[in-house]
Amino acid sequence: MMRLRPAKEFRFPVTAECISPDVFESKTLNEIEALPVWEGNKQRKLGKLFKVEESTNGDQAQDTVIAIHGDVSKVRRIGTRMTDGEVTINGNAGMHLGEGMKGGRITVQGNVEGWAGSMMKGGTIEIHGNASDYLGAPYRGSNEGLRGGKIIVFGNVGNEAGAHMKKGTIKIYGNASQFLGFRMRDGTIYVQEDCGDRAGACMVNGKIVIGGFMESVLPTFTIGSIKQKVKIEENETVEGPFYLFLGDLSESSDGKLYVSKQKNPHLSHYERFL
């Protein structure tokens, strides 16, 4: 196990995609400290910005575990394209966490900035605080959203979570902002609490489940039925009842939007169309 602590409070963004089990694997402490990072527009060595310590527990099975202690909210691209191992962050994390991730696990005991899990293909990201905008979403101009894996957020998320999602699972135990699942193609998004406007806009396929309040459903969705429960994962089902809306019909879609009936009595007028 490698333990990292910021050597100072960062004033400028730090780009450190080298902080990854794949990069650390089989390297000595000195080699890890010499890895290049960027602080603003200046290249540094990882050991100049972080105090790096090697665990002395002698457990070789833990060589691919990285534990970060402290606020790294200005540190970007931690865990980029990682395929195995584990990263734990005991504090807040910066933008592009786990970008292009293919395997392994990232756990954050704090909040995370934008584009966490962007273009992710596998593995698990677990965030015990809030996540900013574009969770699991691609960059502007790209349509390669989440393609696998799982993202779990125990707090709230910002705009466009799951945009262009093709596969995988996003579970949000707090609130979600607007445009949840924008242009979603497949996969599952579950929001336990409230959701902003325009959920499922332009979705083609997939499943969105809203367990809390949602002010309105887009007019390009039509009600299909009322379901008593909805399956989220293989061993997880949430109890309803839920209104099932089908859409986005502007996209000739097979998407499914489940909205809690109990938390949304203002949507009861749709029942006359059943």
- Mind listing the pLDDT tens digit for each residue in 42-101? 999 999 999 999 976 555 455 589 999 999 999 999 999 999 999 999 999 999 999 999
Q: Which of 166, 189, 197, 196 is nearest to 257 (CA)?
A: 189
Instruction: List CB contacts of 120: < 8 A, sequence separation 6 or more.
Output: 98, 99, 100, 101, 136, 146, 147, 148, 149, 151, 168
Whether residue 50 lies inside any domain: the answer is: no
Tokens 């574009």 correspond to: 134
| Residue 8 covered by a domain | no
Let me know if residue 5 belongs to a domain.
no
Question: How, if at all, do strands 2-6 and 65-69 pair?
Answer: parallel
What are 227-270's pLDDT values in tens digits? 999 999 999 999 999 999 999 999 988 999 999 999 999 999 99
157 has pLDDT over 90 = yes
> Does residue 173 belong to any structural domain of this protein?
yes
Pairing of strands 86-90, 75-76: unpaired
Nearest CA-CA partner of 166 in 144, 133, 190, 134? 144
The reply to whether 159 falls in a domain is yes
Q: What is the pLDDT of residue 6?
A: 98
175 vs 56: CA distance, rounded Å: 41
- Residue whose entry in the numeric block shows the structure tokens 């650390």: 24
Alpha helices, H only, the chain: 21-24, 29-33, 46-49
Total domain count, the chain = 1
pTM (2 d.p.): 0.95
Determine, yes or no, domain membership for 53: no
Does residue 172 lie within any of the structural domains? Answer: yes
Q: Is residue 123 part of a domain?
A: yes
pLDDT (tens digit per residue) in 204-224: 999 999 999 999 999 999 999
Q: Is 107 helix (H, G, I), strand (E, B) or coil?
A: strand
Domain span holding position 263:
114-273
Average pLDDT over residues 12-40: 97
At 92, which helix (H) or strand (E)?
Answer: none
